[in-house]
Each structure stands twice: as C-alpha cells, then as structure tokens.
Structure 1
Amino acid sequence: MFEMKIYTKGGDQGQTSLYDGQRVYKNSLQVETYGTFDELNSNISLADKFCVSEQNKQYLQHVEHLMFLLQGELAAGTPEKYYQKSQVITNEDVKFLEKVIDRYSEKLPKVTSFILPGASQAGAQLHVCRTVCRRAERLLITYMEDHEVRPEIERYVNRMSDFFYIIARDEDYEERINKIVAQVIDQYQKIMEEKSYD
C-alpha cells in the first residue's frame, strides 16, 4: 500500500504552495495569517481536552472544523476556485457564535471589574485561544489592506475572541461550582462518619 511521505522537499528553498499551486515565500503575510489561525486551531484542540463541560467541548469542536474552512479560504491564491470545491464560513456561523455568547452572558454572574485570564486549566487555555485569535485578527486586517476577504470571515474572526472569553468564564464557573459541591459532599460524609461513632 502506498504511503504518502510527510516531507516533500518542496519547501527547502523557503517557499510553499497555495491552494491553486502558486508558490509564495513562507514568511509572506498571507502564509503568516493562515498559519496563525492554524496555531489558534491547535490551541482550541488543547482547550477542548481540558473542558469539564461536554457542551463546551462540542462548541469548540464545531469551531475547530470551521477553522479548516477559514484557513483554506485564506490559503487560496485564487479564492474563486476554492469556492467551487469547498464549503465556506457563512453569516449563519457568525450567528451561531453570537447565540452562544448571548446565552452564556445571561447565565453567568455579571463582571464588574477586570478578571485574571483563567481560574481553571480550561479557562486559562481558552484565554490563550482568545489572545492568539486577536493576533490572527490583527494579521488578517493587515492582509485585507491589499487583498479582498469576504466580510463573513472578518465578522467570524471578531466574534471568535468573544466566544473564547465567554467559554473561559463558563469553565471557570463550572469548576468553582464543582469544588463547592465536592466540599459539601466531603463535609456531609464527615458528619455521617462522626454520627456512626456516637
């Protein structure tokens, strides 16, 4: 059975291929931009493994899959060719993030001051996602000065950082609740043990 090699030697001269076969340098703004979203997606995957909420895991995995569409579109030298063969991020995807943000904003306690980036392991990693997302967004905006990018992409990226922030807060909240429940159970068990000795 034929197995594809991991290395091709095609990038040994500092260049890489875009979706349409066009060769560009690896330090070009385009490659730096979609490469930073690739970095973000790896961080999302790590955050997903730390989450205690199954719902949050599902949300993050949904975003992970859409990130491949985002990276693919940005890596397309000729976007029109990419649109013919692949799905793209739509305004419905933007609305999905907004619904999650709105739902959790109503559920969680109000924030009246700055908070430290993550009281839980999942929360801390999600704040890493938020900051990498902001960096990727800055690169995207610079890239857009000379290249056309669909407005849905720009909106989606902007909402993502808020999405990571609110999921981080929810994970911190869930961990705090779980600790309180564990403490109550522990106290109850101690009381019952003491009674058994009476």
Structure 2
Amino acid sequence: MVVLNRIYTRTGDDGTTALGSGERRPKYDLRIAAYGTVDETNAAIGIARLHLAARADLDAMLGKVQNDLFDLGADLAVPERQDKAERLRLLASQVERLEHDIDTVNAALGPLTSFVLPGGTAAAAHLHLARTICRRAERLVVELASRPDEPVGGPAIKYLNRLSDFLFVASRAANDDGARDVLWEPGKHR
C-alpha cells in the first residue's frame, strides 16, 4: 500500500529525483523521461474518459489501462538489475488482455479506406492525443532498453505498442463506431 502523507519533500530541489530503488538521478534522465511520459499518457486518457459517458464499455477498458500504466511506471522506476527484491512488473497477461480488448472493440468497426485524422467527437480527439503521447513513451522506453546498463522488461515495450493500437480503435469506437471518423483526403487542399 502506498501512503502519501507529505506531498513536498524538497529532495528534488537540486534537480534530481529518486528511482524506486532509492538511487537519485537527474530529472532529465532518460528513465525519468520514459516513465514521466507514461504518466502523461495516463493523464491524457483521464481527460478522454471524461467524454465517454455513452460508452461505459470503453470507459471500463480505459480504467484498467490507467491502472496498468501506474504498474508500468512502477516497473520502469526500478531497473531490474538494481533490485533483486520482488517488485511490481508488467506482465504478459496485461498485454494479452489489451490484445483481447483491441479485438473486441475492432470487431464493431467498419474497414478503413483512408488514414483517420484526429477529430470527430471530443472523446476521439483526446484518445488520439493519448495515442500520440503513448507512441512517444514507447520510443523513449525502446531507447532506454537499447542501453546495456538500463534494462527494461519485455512486456513494457509490448504493452506500449499494443496500447497505441488500442487507443486508435478506441478513438474510432468513440466516433460512433467509425461513423464520425474524419478521413484524410490526400492532396485535397493543394
């Protein structure tokens, strides 16, 4: 259980922050940027959920995703090499659940004939924003994992990759199952 009695500690006033292992790193460190961008993805999803009153199914799926993203942040906050203790790590089963949700949502959608522009409903636009932030988080986590001294668990990268796919199909579902999708028309305004 997490207990937060005191919100400010002043320990970050020197431009560093603590990993879950206690190690201090500069606030611009790639690992900090990676899990900070995961947190940003989570916040964007929270905004999208405010616009999903008519889609309780999507809202419930996104609620699970938000919890998973906190799990992912906790995973990234403690590099595997640093701490041999039992830590919260993202699991393959969370990736599998997300794949199931993608298949479920996508089954109700018509086929696409063009790329989709962010828009349509407010929920869809916010889900597209969350998708692009998620892609940035994925790029940062992949870069982090490419460093020999910065291990990242395999499910973390897979989860972010699937999450951006889920956010795409969820945005289409939020657009009345694709009926309100705004399609790209190449070269239309030349």
Superposition TM-score tier, normalisation by shorter sequence: 0.7 to 0.9
2:187 alignment counterpart: none
Question: 2 CA distance for matches of 1:117 and 1:95?
Answer: 27
2:13 alignment counterpart: 12
2:58 alignment counterpart: 56
1:73 alignment counterpart: 75
- Residue 83 of structure 1 and its aligned partner are, at CA, apart by 5.8
The 1:150–1:175 alpha-carbon spacing in structure 2 relative to 1, beyond 3 Å, is: closer
Is 1:127 aligned to residue 132 of structure 2?
A: no
- Residue 82 of structure 1 and its aligned partner are, at CA, apart by 7.4
- Aligned residue among 63, 83, 86 for 1:84: 86
- Residue 103 of structure 1 and its aligned partner are, at CA, apart by 2.0
The residue matched to 1:50 in structure 2 has which SS? coil
Q: Deviations over 1:61-115 (max 9, x none)?
A: 00001111100111114566476143x3211111111112112222111111112
Q: What TM-score do the two structures reach when normalised by structure 2?
A: 0.85
The 1:125–1:42 alpha-carbon spacing in structure 2 relative to 1, beyond 3 Å, is: same
The 1:116–1:161 alpha-carbon spacing in structure 2 relative to 1, beyond 3 Å, is: same
1:148 alignment counterpart: 151
Question: 1 CA distance for matches of 2:80 and 2:152?
Answer: 12
- Aligned residue among 150, 166, 172 for 1:169: 172
Segment drifting more, 104-113 vs 167-176: 167-176
Q: What TM-score do the two structures reach when normalised by structure 1?
A: 0.81
The residue matched to 1:158 in structure 2 has which SS? helix
- Aligned residue type for 2:77: A
- Residue 20 of structure 1 and its aligned partner are, at CA, apart by 1.1
Is 1:99 aligned to residue 108 of structure 2?
A: no
1:29 alignment counterpart: 30
User: Is the Cα–Cα contact under 8 Å of residues 19 and 82 in structure 1 kept in the other structure?
Assistant: no
Identity %: 34
The residue matched to 1:165 in structure 2 has which SS? helix
Unaligned runs of 5+ in 1: 178-198
User: Is the Cα–Cα contact under 8 Å of residues 47 and 126 in structure 2 kept in the other structure?
Assistant: yes
- Aligned residue type for 1:166: V
Computing the radius of gyration from Cα coordinates, the structure with the larger value is 1
- Aligned residue type for 1:29: L
1:186 alignment counterpart: none
Segment drifting more, 32-41 vs 98-107: 98-107
Unaligned runs of 5+ in 2: 181-190
User: Is the Cα–Cα contact under 8 Å of residues 120 and 175 in structure 1 kept in the other structure?
Assistant: no
Question: 1 CA distance for matches of 2:139 and 2:12?
Answer: 26
